[in-house]
Structure 1
Amino acid sequence: MVYSLIVKKEIRRSFDHVNNQRWDDAAKGLTPNAYHWVAGDHALGGERHGKQSVKQWFERMGRVFPKLQIDIEQVEVTGWPWNTTVFVKWRANASLLDGQSSYVNRGVHVFKLRWGKVYSIEEYFDSQAAERSLAIQARAGLDEAAAGPIVS
C-alpha cells in the first residue's frame, strides 16, 4: 500500500531529524495534544502530553546524549490512514562525557497516527542502561542528566 510506504519514509525521516538534532522538524509531525511515554524514572523517563512538552523532551535528550545516533533496524506499518500503528525496532549508541564509556541500547517505538499525524509515542527499551549512562553523564558534570523527568 502506498500509504504505508509514505508513513515508513516519514518515520525514518523523523529519526534522521533526531539524529541531527533538528528538534522543530522532529516535532513537526505531532498533533498538538500528542502523548509521549518513556519507560523509567530518570531524566528521559515519564509521560508527556502536548507537542511542546515532547519537543522539550527531544531537546533534553540532545543535551544529555549529544552524540546520540539511532539506527533503525525495522519499520512495520499496520492499519488505515485514520488509525495507523507503526512499530520501529532500533539500536542506539552514544559516546559519553567520561571519554571511555558508551550508551548502547535497543528498543521499540510504537507510534499511533491519524491521517499521517502522530498522536501517541511509546518507547520500550532497557531503561537501566539509560539510567546507568545518565549517571555517567551527571558524574561528568552534566547536571541535567540527573534531573527528574519532564512530565506534563
Structure 2
Amino acid sequence: MLIYSSIVEKIVRKTFLAVQNHDYQAVLNGVSSNNLTHRFAGPNSLGGIRHDKEALGRWFKRVGTVLPELKFDVTNVLVLGGPWNTTVVARWVATCKLENGEPYVNPGIHVIKLRWGKAYDFDVYEDTFAVTVGLEKQAKSGIAEALAPQIVS
C-alpha cells in the first residue's frame, strides 16, 4: 500500500498545482461523473454543493476569476485505503494578494474519496469567514463575480 499511497499523494499535489495554474480540465479529468459531490462551506459565492462535473467546472472557473493569484502550499497528504475505496486528507494553506493589495491567507483541508483513481466526494474545510471577507474585498475592487450566487447542482 505504500507505493499506492505515494502515487495518490503525487496526484493530489499535482492537482492542487493544476488549480493554482488555472488548468481546470486537468482537475476535472480526475473526477468521476458518477455520484459526484463537492461541498464548499460558507455563505459566499464559492459555497454550496455541486453534483455534476459541468457545475464543478464552472465553480473552478469562478475560483480563478475571484482569486486569480491563489496559491496552495500543501503541507500534508494522508492516504488511507486501497484503490477501490480511498480516503485522502490534504492539509494546505491558500494564499494570494487581493486586488486591494492586502494578503489573503486561509488554512484548510480537503477530505476526498476516490474509487479506482477517480475522485467522487469532496469536503473542503477552511475559514469560511476569511473566504467571505476576501470575496467582499475582491468585489469592492471590481470583481463582481465575487458576490455572485452560489453555483449549485
Alignment root-mean-square deviation, CA: 0.8
State how far apart, in whole Å, the 2-side matches of 1:57 and 1:98 are: 23
Instruction: Give 1:131's aligned residue.
Output: 132
Q: In 1, distance between residues paired with 2:147 and 2:124? A: 20
**Matches of 1:24 and 1:96, distance apart in 2:** 25
Query: Partner of 1:36 in structure 2?
Result: 38
Code of the aligned partner of 1:89: R
What are the within-5 Å matches in structure 2 for residues 11-26 of structure 1? Answer: 11-26=12-27
Task: Report the AA paired with residue 84 of structure 1.
Answer: T
1:16-66 CA-to-partner distances (Å, cap 9, x unmatched) read 101111011111100013210001010100000011211111110000000
1:7 deviation in Å?
Answer: 0.7
CA distance in structure 2 between the aligned counterparts of 1:103 and 1:150, rounded to whole angstroms:
22
**% identical equivalent positions:** 44
CA contact (8 A) 1:41 1:148 kept: no
Give per-residue Cα distances to partners, 1:67-118, cap 9 Å, x unaligned. 000110000000111110000000011111112x121100000000001110
Alignment of 1:1-152 (within 5 A): 1-33=2-34, 34-99=36-101, 101-152=102-153
* Count of residues paired in the alignment: 151
The runs of 4+ residues in structure 1 deviating greater than 3 Å are none
Structure 2: unaligned runs, 5 residues or longer: none
TM-score normalised to structure 1 length = 0.97
More strand by share: 1
Task: Calculate the TM-score normalised by the size of structure 2.
Answer: 0.96
CA distance in 1 between partners of 2:77 and 2:15 (Å): 12
**Structure-2 separation of matches of 1:92 and 1:46:** 19
Which runs of 5 or more structure 1 residues have no equivalent in the other structure?
none
